[in-house]
Structure 1
């Protein structure tokens, strides 16, 4: 399998250099490194890397700003954010803008390879420390037992990134019924009412129900 082409942006030169050298040692092709968000975004548009590893806070454009623009313009580059911040608002922004990976800088070198591997498979990857803190899914085994067989069936399709309409067509039920199941699953798993929260949970915990 070909290694993904990676772009890195961080306004801390030592962290930028360290991450670049670490990934090069692992034989990942680095197509560019940048210290500000605008340069990074322009390079994403021009070079179309498979993955962009971005610091959340940078001059000109933040990592979240870049993720918003990529989503708006349907740019296929997958975004991984790295940050020192553990505030809930950043976690929520990551979910809202379909960010594929979210790493705390203190664990970045330990988790980055697993993160890249997961993202390349189409599976979101969030630092376990930050995910457990805000997703309320520290005991998924006990939570999954609350779901009915019909809800498990819906959950399997959600993990496959199927839309409510696609699930309804496949299972020969109404979209309204699918949405009702979604709402019940979110409630039983005690997930927050945020876009993609259920998708992220289902993909991180699909070994429990597949």
Structure 2
């Protein structure tokens, strides 16, 4: 995904136009712009953009509603939320739905390219101010947002008490690949190297992995 197809949605015309013009100047391919959530979601279903950059507060459907529906229906479009909201509650709700980015509008133009680059690599990106504010303040303050989608999938299976061999069979990958993912997850979550440390953490935080 070197040059992803991007959809932008925001109910503020000036902000929408400003972000669109900025990204076009950087040679990104903008396949659609929308001014409300429902049209954005319908366009995601129809056009299947690689990335959707969405305002949270929009008429008809919020950006979080769209992320929730994309997760429920296993839509591959990667969701980036672009918002003025700095509330912990809203941030944590957004993270539940596997969003790939959370940008504060005041920093959007300075961070958007780094965000897109990270998302293209399968990594999540959060505005530094948000990341520092919340990533260490939650019970699972162990940088879960750093995990890739593949690592999250494996972590959920670990929480279900599946062994590496069972996970390998379930995902049709090698046990060695599973073990490599486990090692990366442990490192990113900054866990002890003790036996079952990852299983204990996964089960303790199982609800946050749904």
Pick the TM interval, shorter chain: 0.7 to 0.9
Is this contact kept in 2: 1:96–1:194, CA < 8 A? Answer: no
Q: Of 162, 178, 195, which aligns to 2:208?
A: 195
Residues 73-122 of structure 1: CA distance to partner in whole angstroms, max 9, x if unpaired? 11100000011010001110121000000000000000000000000100
Structure 1 match to 2:164: 168
Report the Cα distance in structure 2 between the residues aligned to 1:166 and 1:3, rounded to whole angstroms: 37
Runs ≥4 in structure 1, deviation > 3 angstroms? Answer: 170-173, 183-186, 191-194
Structure 2 match to 1:125: 125
Is this contact kept in 2: 1:92–1:194, CA < 8 A? Answer: no
Q: CA 1:61/1:20 → structure 2, altered by over 3 Å: closer, same or farther? A: same
Structure 1 match to 2:95: 95
Residues 101-150 of structure 1: CA distance to partner in whole angstroms, max 9, x if unpaired? 0000000000000000000100011111001111118xxxxx9xxxxxxx
Structure 1 match to 2:116: 116
- 1:2 positional shift: 3.6
Q: CA 1:98/1:12 → structure 2, altered by over 3 Å: closer, same or farther? A: same
Report the Cα distance in structure 2 between the residues aligned to 1:193 and 1:55, rounded to whole angstroms: 28
- 1:58 positional shift: 0.1
1:83 aligns with 2:83: yes
Report the Cα distance in structure 2 between the residues aligned to 1:23 and 1:131, rounded to whole angstroms: 24
Report the Cα distance in structure 2 between the residues aligned to 1:123 and 1:27, rounded to whole angstroms: 21
Unmatched tracts of structure 2, length 5 or more: 166-174, 180-193
- 1:66 positional shift: 0.3
Structure 2 match to 1:152: none
Q: Structure 2 length normalisation: TM-score?
A: 0.72
Match of 2:133, SS?
helix
Q: CA 1:63/1:26 → structure 2, altered by over 3 Å: closer, same or farther? A: same
Residues paired across the two proteins, number: 172
Pairwise CA RMSD: 3.2
Is this contact kept in 1: 2:80–2:100, CA < 8 A? Answer: yes
Report the Cα distance in structure 2 between the residues aligned to 1:58 and 1:70, rounded to whole angstroms: 16
1:33 aligns with 2:49: no
Unmatched tracts of structure 1, length 5 or more: 138-142, 144-154, 198-210
Structure 2 match to 1:202: none
Match of 1:92, SS?
helix
Is this contact kept in 2: 1:78–1:100, CA < 8 A? Answer: yes
Q: Structure 1 length normalisation: TM-score?
A: 0.72
Structure 2 match to 1:64: 64
Structure 2 match to 1:9: 9
Match of 2:7, SS?
strand
